[in-house]
Structure 1
Amino acid sequence: MQTNPDLLNLLHAQNGPFLTLLVKRPTNPASVNQAKLTFKNLLKMAATMMEKSFPNANWENYQSRFTEYQDNNDFWLSGTGKTVALIGNEHQIFTYHLNRELDDHVSISHRPNILPIINEELEFNYLVLALNHDSFILYRGDQHHLLPINLPADAPDKLTKALGEEIDGKSVNVTARGHEPGFGSFHGHNEKSAEVQKDKVNYYQQVADYVLKNFAQYDQRKVILFGLPENQTIFKQVAKSNLIDEKLHIDLSPAKTDFYEVEKQVLNLMSQWFDSVIAALSKDYEQAASKQLLVDEPYNIVEPVMNHQVDQLIITSGATARGLLLDDGNLISNTPEASQNNLLNDLAIFTILRGGNVITLTEDQLPAKTRGGGVALLRYAQSGIERAEKS
């Protein structure tokens, strides 16, 4: 599990403080005014917070830049998801459309508040193979988007291109079934039925070789199959690849499915993917516990984070801990800015910048209870003994 590289642009943004606004995304034109009113009220709250914790900041610049979004109807109605997040300073604003529905929220912090968006920025890149009996379409996707891949002219995207024009099934007496015209139950001519099945296996072998070699193997990208179960079964038998995702698949015919329905079906699988992430984390947690590579309580996590020891940081959703972690590793707690700052957010940022991973989980998703809202899984023991053994 990795963090999306695009998130680094936000983490490297300078010149805080940073303002974070979360607003439920309006679902139709009638609800836009309510979203804009909520946004306006959150900005008023932000003005008060800024004056208290960052009195030297130029609030007029923040207000001017954020208000541009407040009055933009197209912005509120564009995109997808259930929550709109805006994170920025007086120079630049980053916008996100989150799949989760979060409460309306405003915060101001020394660094960007990434905790509301961190799960949405986990990197999950994959391919979707929409597989018919005589053709395929290939897509590339992540947690939020799906895009069709424009294949080159020599791609075996049609059975006739792969096996020859004479293989078109038209000479076989068939009755269509399911949602795939032209592929069904054969009446008589058993030898023809066997030939068509053999052609199908040969075609799927070419598709598997082409997709795996040219699109999946380079970065070990998982392939999600979209097709009738019997077609998926044959394809997996000929592909013989662990890159075919066993858990994520869509058992529908893509023959008469447009792009938007394909995207909808695929993005609906993301909750299942996240469940698998949590299951894997539970195993990692147990292994770390057995090797005494766990540290909980935010203030105890500071040192291993700054020493590049944290491989995985798990934060309880909504948890806070007062304190401001400086770039040199010093922890400040006795200033207005520090009292308003969430140390867990700082730990998350430094963990990512040092090559670690971060995820937020609800209480019921956590592998075990945490002290202070955070637990770190270490790469090696704090004493350095385990690090020496690995080297």
Structure 2
Amino acid sequence: MQTTLTDLKTLLEELDKGPFISLYFPVDKNPMNDKNRLVLKQLQKTAAEQFGANYSQLDWEKFSQRMSQQLEILFDDNKELPMSFGVILSETQQIVLPLNIEVEPQVSVCDWPNLLPQIVAQQRIVNFDLLALNQDSFKLFEVNAGSVKALELAEDAPSDLQKALGTEKSGGETNFRSFTNGQGGGAGYHGHNTLDAEKEIDHRNYYQAVADYLNRVIAERKRAVVLFALPENQSLFREICKTPYLSENLSVQKSPLNLSLQELATEIDPLIKVQWQSGLLNILKERYDTARSQQLALSDHSEILEAARFGKIDTLIINQNQIDHDLSTWLLELSDQVLRYRGKVRIFPEDDYPGEEPVVAILRYS
């Protein structure tokens, strides 16, 4: 499973030439609080100062009017507000970026848009299908950016064991047989061992039916599938279902029985925030170590920027501290160039950062 930066590439294609005013700020959702207005007022003041210092030959009023108009309509009472907003403006265009992360109020005015907070937000978005599997039933859900929606199953879907196996079901009821031994009638029952064996056969056969159906669905949807099931059910289903779309690293080892959509969303929240980010980091560390051994890793600023301008960078890796404490136009241009050539930009907090320098790059070729 991977998270793509295609949306950022599209964003760059939509933006014309600079200068760009990039504003990011957290949203106070209390309608009685004046905090949003005060934050925006300060950001506009800072933007005017930076614009005057860097682009005194240009008409600030054109930018100021566009910015004021855009900011006025952000807090429409009829809209559900995100955790934060990003707004990127040029002389002729403006783009609003609702973000699912908290950001510090910040503004930059330069020849390149600041996409770094948007990259951090994109990095935390994980989209997948969720298979909620019980011993005798299953449901499918679509998960997009933490939002969970039930998928409608086909009429022939093996939604429960009885529907899937029908008359072939062998262990669901106590098997009864009558007999005579020449000395009178009698009744006998299969023992517990036999019943347990039959239930295990049903269990395996049912999971095979679910796996077959899932493979058909995956062929159409082509989305990663995360398994939500008890550990013993996880083990059996993974033994039966052989598809590369079933995530090996991401899972919820609990029973999904009778959980509401909101309860499902709560249960998968740690998976998205911890398991996914940890898996992404481990993969990136391994790739970076391999790149270093193959002389395909760069840490020198000038070498990285030159490689970016020629489209040679596969992945740019940035220490979050570099953004928080020293956001330079060099870094904004670098990110812009990497994304325009369909490279990836990854940002990690210092404790997880795999590089020795604040910014490192993995090359596509030497």
Aligned twin of 2:66: 61
Aligned twin of 2:285: 282
Name the CA shift for 1:73/1:172 in 2 (closer, same or farther; >3 Å). Answer: farther
SS at match of 2:158: coil
User: In the aligned structure 2, how far is the partner of 1:253 from the partner of 1:228?
Assistant: 5
Select which of 318, 321, 331 maps to 1:344. 331
User: In the aligned structure 1, how far is the partner of 2:66 from the partner of 2:122?
Assistant: 28
SS at match of 2:342: coil
Name the CA shift for 1:105/1:141 in 2 (closer, same or farther; >3 Å). Answer: same
What RMSD over aligned residues (CA atoms) do the two structures have, in Å?
A: 3.0
User: In the aligned structure 1, how far is the partner of 2:136 from the partner of 2:89?
Assistant: 49
Shift of 1:376: 1.3
Q: Deviations over 1:4-63 (max 9, x none)?
A: 32222311123343333322233x536753234323332332233333334324111221
Does structure 1 residue 5 correspond to structure 2 residue 6?
yes
Does structure 1 residue 361 correspond to structure 2 residue 348?
yes
Shift of 1:157: 2.1
**Structure 1 residues not aligned, in runs of 5+:** 174-186, 322-339, 382-391
Conserved? CA contact 1:225–1:232, under 8 Å: yes
Conserved? CA contact 1:135–1:159, under 8 Å: yes
Aligned twin of 1:128: 130
The one-letter code of the counterpart of 2:51 is: M
Conserved? CA contact 2:315–2:343, under 8 Å: yes
User: In the aligned structure 1, how far is the partner of 2:88 from the partner of 2:170?
Assistant: 55
SS at match of 2:73: helix
Conserved? CA contact 1:24–1:84, under 8 Å: yes
The one-letter code of the counterpart of 1:132 is: N
Conserved? CA contact 2:25–2:104, under 8 Å: yes
Name the CA shift for 1:161/1:112 in 2 (closer, same or farther; >3 Å). Answer: farther
TM-score (norm 2): 0.82
SS at match of 1:163: helix
User: In the aligned structure 2, how far is the partner of 1:188 from the partner of 1:375?
Assistant: 66
Does structure 1 residue 309 correspond to structure 2 residue 312?
yes
SS at match of 1:95: strand
Aligned twin of 1:299: 302
Shift of 1:245: 2.4
Spell out the pairing of 1:231-246 with structure 2 (5 A cutoff).
Answer: 231-246=233-248
User: In the aligned structure 2, how far is the partner of 1:304 from the partner of 1:311?
Assistant: 10
Conserved? CA contact 1:160–1:166, under 8 Å: no
Aligned twin of 1:252: 254
Name the CA shift for 1:165/1:40 in 2 (closer, same or farther; >3 Å). Answer: farther
User: In the aligned structure 1, how far is the partner of 2:220 from the partner of 2:100?
Assistant: 30
Aligned twin of 2:34: 33
Conserved? CA contact 2:9–2:342, under 8 Å: no
Name the CA shift for 1:319/1:117 in 2 (closer, same or farther; >3 Å). Answer: same
SS at match of 1:268: helix
Q: Deviations over 1:277-322 (max 9, x none)?
A: 111111111111111112223322122112221111112224269x
User: In the aligned structure 1, how far is the partner of 2:78 from the partner of 2:45?
Assistant: 23
The one-letter code of the counterpart of 2:249 is: K
User: In the aligned structure 2, how far is the partner of 1:31 from the partner of 1:152?
Assistant: 48
Conserved? CA contact 1:18–1:109, under 8 Å: yes
SS at match of 1:364: coil
User: In the aligned structure 2, how far is the partner of 1:150 from the partner of 1:102?
Assistant: 37
SS at match of 1:214: helix
User: In the aligned structure 2, how far is the partner of 1:157 from the partner of 1:246?
Assistant: 23
Percentage of pairs with the same residue: 31
The one-letter code of the counterpart of 1:138 is: L
TM-score (norm 1): 0.77
Q: Which sits farther off after the overlay, 16-25 or 161-170? A: 161-170
Aligned twin of 1:334: none
Conserved? CA contact 1:315–1:344, under 8 Å: no
Does structure 1 residue 18 correspond to structure 2 residue 3?
no
The one-letter code of the counterpart of 1:8 is: K
Q: Deviations over 1:81-104 (max 9, x none)?
A: x433333445332222233x3322
